[in-house]
Chains A and B, each alone.
Chain A
Amino acid sequence: MLFTQIEFFIFFGIVLASLLITSSHRIRKGLLLLASYYFYAYWDWRFLSLILISTLVDYLVALGLARTSRPSRRKLLLLTSLTCNLGILGFFKYFNFFVQSMETILGSFGFHCGTLHIVLPIGISFYTFQTLSYTIDVYRSRLDPCRNVLDFALFVAFFPQLVAGPIVRASEFLPQLRSNARPSWYGTFLGFRQFTIGLFKKVFIADHIAVFVDYVFENAGAFNGASTWFAVLAYGLQIYCDFSGYSDMAIGAARIMGYNLPTNFRSPYLATSMTDFWHRWHISLSTWLRDYLYIPLGGNRKGRVRTYVNIFITMVLGGLWHGASWTFVLWGALHGVTLVVEKWLRQRFRSMTHSATVWCLPGILGWFVTMLIVFTAWVFFRAASFRQAFLMLRQMYGFSGGIAWYYPFVLFTLLLVGAAHVFLAMNILSLRRLAYNRLVTPVVLISMWWLILVFPAEGFNPFVYFQF
């Protein structure tokens, strides 16, 4: 079930009504859990078993960790959780990828291993990371294990964030489940506002842009340099609106029900450095990678070279998380390399001048360089193959001839969103202006709904991050 389908609104209405009329906190959570399972099963009920397995394993592992203090036993329990979760993720998401990648090597030795017809369960990357963060926190004694199986199951399967994030930490969410959260009038307004903005970004902007972007990428190399750049910029906007829109809808839906989910995006295209970009883009993933991959690898505590290696590995694996394809790996590697270079530049210039600012490019230049890197990297993220990516890059940087195509809606939207970002940077535009007690708020929000209904994108457009 997608947030943009009419079934979801009916489903959500029923869920919300049930929560409102039920006074028992326990029953409310039970209803929410059943609703979450139904939400997931709506896509494919068979894969509900994977969530249940993951839930059960991590619940028991955490309880086991609480019962023992022997390091070897604790490690074994953690290993069990890691094996189970990463094993499921690895099999469903990466089996065919590794088989195909190894085919040439294995083939030279006479081994031929065929691929399997594996359906990728939606949201597996998200809820796997979510449950792993819980287990690891319990292992590190940073968190007490959750003894209420209902609460834990709901933490894993909570439907607003189940299929495409944000990746929620147990330390953030479990206290809310304990605290008898209920819908409130003001929370409903905040949630509705955020949901509406997210829906508008996804349906009105991202889905319309997709029509243009998909065609250009499909015919990479046929369009001239300007049109190709136009398409890449459009893709950057599409993926931002698609993903942040979904996150907004998830956060908004949760807010309506009385739960707070973490912010996942903070105007990433205002970033003035790659480090800044990753503080603003998919925040829940970047912090997860920092806390559960980068820091365990050693972080910045093992010397300069090791720090760079750790950054690079983290970003490569972050790229691989997005998809089982070498283009995603290269995308991650590009980000890794640029982060390493940035860190090196900061350290070098700081050591020379003892100034924290001299290594920083002036704001606008830093922003430009960052966006150039980010949007160039998006080509690999979007392209179906290296060939397609290189064709796009050749047109972008070679400024070759070709078909000129400037989709008017995309042009208009890019200009509008660009202006909005400028106003955001200048603090002229802010969500605070859509306050509860202002007339402009219902005008803007209802206009968004009306525009979505009057100008729908044709066809079925799942969220881009659905595939992760």
Chain B
Amino acid sequence: MQTFLEAFLVPAIQAVVVVLLMLLAVAYITLLERKVIAFMQVRIGPNRVGPRGLLQPIADVVKLLLKEDIVPAKADRFVFWLAPILVTMTAIAALAVIPWAGTDATLHVLGYEIRPVITDVNVGIIYVLSISSIGVFGIVLGGWASHSKYPLLGGLRSAAQMISYEVPLGLAIIGALMIAETASTVKIVEWQARHTWLFWLQPVGVLLFYIAGVAENNRAPFDLPEAESELVAGFHTEYSGMKFAFFFLGEYISMIVVSALVVTIYFGGWLPITFGLGYLVPAIPAALSGAWGGPGVHLAFGVFWFALKTFLVLYVYLWLRATFPRYRYDQLMEVGWKFMIPVSLAWILFTGVALLAFDALAA
């Protein structure tokens, strides 16, 4: 019974906590996005609801909940309903393997072991990639089920786009996995704690991964599926109310997932920001990660550093959106197939040769 509870009940509670936190995070990322872009565009942004607009996300949620839920007359009702759920579910599911703090932050409550990650599978990174490819179906189905031309074009675009960018997304991280010799999200951070940030060893890898991640999330400058000036709102043109909100939620959680993954794989996850040079003076990272305290302190510090780094990576998303024009569909494909994939393959080759050379020198 004890093991059953530990295997199912604890992760279930953790999952609920994570999902609720994510909903809150998404709500405030939308506010952050509007404020940051407003700042870049010399305007003020939302400032009417609550002090400095801080209650704006709540007002938005209430508005979406109260909106009429319109289903087009000729839509496939079941698929129309299924699509937003698919997008949100897969985005949330990907969060399961993201570690929020180190194993030293494991809490023991009532004899149950609560680790700061919902589950640590040995193929965690590959799990995230595979689950996020299922999310594509949601968008394609949403575009198709609307029975309308603009959403159809939007859905087709994202199908092509997301499938094309899955490939460089997967190829980009292979270098990192080769060096760390693990695909577990926890172990890869632990490797970085012992050595250095993988960012220093994989600068091209992180760039490729981030660009492919932005494209995979349909964010500017790769936001063609919902290019508002051409395809109105793309695949979710016909959606309203909470169904629309679920697409929105899915998109933003995917952004968090990609940012969290970049932080985990390349920027040392929950480790304090010592730019991967902590091993030189071990006292500094120890102090910055609350080594003097118990697991609770470790957890607080781990979550803090992880959240800070994730926020910084997310900020780049907003920055990109305020800066760049949008790629055209065929140009996007060109960048994906003719640039990203060859470069990531070459980078894998380079990493492999470098590793062999390093081993030969060490031996």
- A and B bound? no
Binding site for B on A (CB under 8 A): none
Mark B residues whose CB is within 8 Å of A: none
